[in-house]
Amino acid sequence: MIEAVLQISLVVLAAAMIGLVYRLVKGPTVPDRVVALDAMGVNLVSITAVLSMLLDTSNYLEVILLIGILAFIGTVAFAKFLEKGEVVEYDRDQ
Amino acid sequence: MKTNDVIFQTVAKVVFFMIIFFAIHLFFAGHYYPGGGFVGGLLTAGAIVLLLLAFDIKTVQHGFPLDFKWLIGIGLLFSAGTATGSLIFNVPFFTHAYNYFHLPLFGKTSLHTAMLFDLGVYFVVIGVTMTIIQTIGESE
């Protein structure tokens, strides 16, 4: 029973991923693509969680937190590049 | 135009400690669970990169007043020292030793010299990543 539910949710998450890939390819502006990438990271977190339940292992729990942190840092770096033109500044008071 | 990113800077100050603690957890859990020196070092560098994004290179250098190139040398010294330390006890190169100790707060704990080797890997990964990012960020 629980296995069927997990498989169905995995299919739904994969469908959501396809929608995000459509926005990533089609997106008219760069911020559209960045938001799509960030949502793909969150989606990947849920896919990993469902998969770790399906495989009945707790070894993927570190991966979930890792993907969350990396998606946050990546999105922030992209946002700063779009806003200021450079990712890491030497002196922000200049 | 001067932008005011107070939300990002406040969030970065809080999230920095979460990432650091998670990295230290990954580093120490590496012997029995997924993780280890490489992922821990990369995540520690990621936390410092978050501070670099929120602030700038000058502020981060003020907060971490060490040359990250030294960290590479210290890490290599740790790894090579653990490997050659086994030669003193008349056993082959890279032989590790472990034993069980009763520590006051942790109870029965297994201390292993492979952890010193992992500490070297941790330092080298932080040093290399931060050197690359700082070198790229500084050039005009």
ipTM: 0.85
**A70 to chain B: which residues are within 8 Å by CB?**
46
Contacts of B33 in chain A (CB under 8 A): 59, 62
What's the rounded Cα separation, in Å, for the pair A13 and A49?
Answer: 11
Residue of chain A whose alpha carbon sits nearest to that of B15: A69
pLDDT score recorded for residue A53:
94
Confidence of residue B30 (pLDDT cuts 50, 70, 90): confident
Q: What is the mean pLDDT of each run of 10 residues along chain A (94 residues)?
A: 94 95 92 94 95 92 93 93 84 73
- Inter-axis angle of helices A2-26 and A30-54, to 10 degrees? 160
Does residue B75 carry a pLDDT above 90?
A: yes
The CA distance from B1 to the nearest CA of chain A, in Å, is 10
* pLDDT tens sequence across A62-86: 999 999 999 999 999 999 999 888 8
For residue B30, the chain A residue with the least C-alpha distance is A62
pLDDT tens digits, one per residue of B118-138: 999 999 999 999 999 988 887
> CB burial class (10 A; 0-12, 13-18, 19+) of residue B44?
buried
CA torsion angle B121 B123 B128 B134 (round to 10):
160
Nearest CA in chain B to A62: B34
Contact assignment for B57 to A70 by CB distance below 8 Å: no
User: What is the pTM (predicted TM-score) of this model?
Assistant: 0.88
Percent of chain B with pLDDT over 90: 46
